[in-house]
Amino acid sequence: MSTLHKHPVPSPVKDRVTVYAPATVANLGVGFDIVGMALDSPGDKVTVEAWDQPGVDLVEIIGDGGKLPTDPEKNTACIAAFETLRALGVETGVRLWLDKGLPLASGLGSSAASAAAAAVAVNELFGAPLDRVELLPPCVEAEAAVSGRHADNVAPALLGGIVLIISVDPPHVISMPVPDNLHIALVTANVALPTVEARAVLPSHVSLRTMVTQTALVAGFVHALHVNDLTLLANVVERDTVVSPARTALIPGLEQAQIAARAAGALAAGISGAGPTIFALCDDPLMAERVTVAFEAVYIALGIECTTHIARPYMLGATVLDS
Ligand code: HSE
């Protein structure tokens, strides 16, 4: 089995490892399945210990209100841990503890954060022979099991910053420049929206005209990041012609929140990942404060409970906390 792996089969070098992995905003308006950004809060933590049995023993989940599956084959942290053990060529297993800081089915990359934390923790336990890009396939397998085969949450959760996904299989990702002074105001309506449901409403085909429009917007988005042009960024982010329009009916308060965010000075606002969280890009912290107040007013008027917070881009990606 070891001949399948480019590294010799490693042994544990630590007793226990804990890793934090961040929330992520996928798509960023126009980059469906190909762009994602890591946030400095909230995030998930995974702790692993070496286990002399094969596989993954899920010892405990906290912070999920009892909602996550405890079957290791259905839990993204366990799947990513298992796939990382396989990638390492290790035949023993790990015991795993998951501490959820992220709300479930909220559009903040909850399943991806758990997967990224677990993959990095297992790799670290065995001396970190794999690099972050080599940890992408285990995380994509985990994501595919629960929400779809896309890497726009797991890649920034692993690498930090804003990541462009050129391809998932084989993994090819590029870290892009992150604009200075980016503050992200977020509002999460208290309604769960599983990613599979939000993907089910998407068109399976688009016209050539739509493809041209969307490609131009994505190109503008990438250029804006490279030249730190927030005006251009704002100009393209809200003009997604394919995915956001198809999901509008699923996201309570989306249009009102976008209008309120702009009125409060935000550069642009849109659906975070598959929703229902809505993000607004701001270029100063006071503007972000004003936007969260405006978001709250929208949901109070709609009679829907919500949570708001302000985040900054998180440049580190999944972070080893202690061993
Ligand atoms: N790109 C994915 C989607 C992200 O929008 O369905 C899900 O978090």
Considering the chain, what percentage of its residues have pLDDT values greater than 90? Answer: 91
pLDDT of 66 reads 87
Going from the Cα of 13 to the center of ligand 1, the distance in angstroms, rounded, reads 36
- The mean pLDDT of 76-102, rounded to a whole number, is 97
Pairwise CA distance, residues 71 & 58, whole Å: 8
Token pair of 108, please? 């903040």
195 lines ligand 1 (CB under 6 A): yes
Using CA positions, which residue lies closest to atom 1 of ligand 1?
Answer: 33
Q: Which domains does the chain have, with CATH numbers?
A: 16-176+314-322 (3.30.230.10), 183-311 (3.30.70.890)
The residues that are catalytic are 143, 195
Going from the Cα of 239 to the center of ligand 1, the distance in angstroms, rounded, reads 17
- The mean pLDDT of 186-195, rounded to a whole number, is 93
> Residue with structure tokens 């042009």?
229
pLDDT of 3 reads 42
247 lines ligand 1 (CB under 6 A): no
Going from the Cα of 108 to the center of ligand 1, the distance in angstroms, rounded, reads 9
To the nearest whole number, what is the mean pLDDT of the chain? 95
Using CA positions, which residue lies closest to atom 8 of ligand 1?
Answer: 273
Render pLDDT for 149-172 as a digit per residue (tens, 0 to 9).
Answer: 999 999 999 999 999 999 999 999
82 lines ligand 1 (CB under 6 A): no
- Indicate the residue type of 313: P
Give kind and range of the element (H or E) at residue 25. Answer: strand 16-26
pLDDT of 322 reads 72
153 lines ligand 1 (CB under 6 A): yes
Under the banding of pLDDT at 50, 70 and 90, the label for residue 18 is very high
**Quick one: which atom of ligand 1 is closest to the CA of 112?**
8
pLDDT of 72 reads 87
**Quick one: which atom of ligand 1 is closest to the CA of 274?**
5
What are the residue ranges of helices labelled H in 29-160? 76-88, 110-125, 136-146, 154-159
47 lines ligand 1 (CB under 6 A): no
Using CA positions, which residue lies closest to atom 4 of ligand 1?
Answer: 273
- Which of 25, 27, 34, 111 has the most ligand 1 atoms within 8 A of CB, as the residue to mutate? 27
Q: List 42's β-bridge partners, or say none.
A: none
CA angle (156 as vertex; 128, 285 as ends), nearest 5: 125
Q: Say whether pLDDT at 2 is over 80.
A: no
Render pLDDT for 19-63 as a digit per residue (tens, 0 to 9).
Answer: 999 999 999 999 999 999 999 999 999 999 999 999 999 999 999
List all residues 6 or more positions away from 285 whose beta carbon is below 8 Å from its beta carbon: 183, 310
CB burial readout 54-84, b (16+ within 10 A) else e: ebbebeebeebeeebeeebeebbbbbbbbbb
Q: Say whether pLDDT at 7 is over 80.
A: no
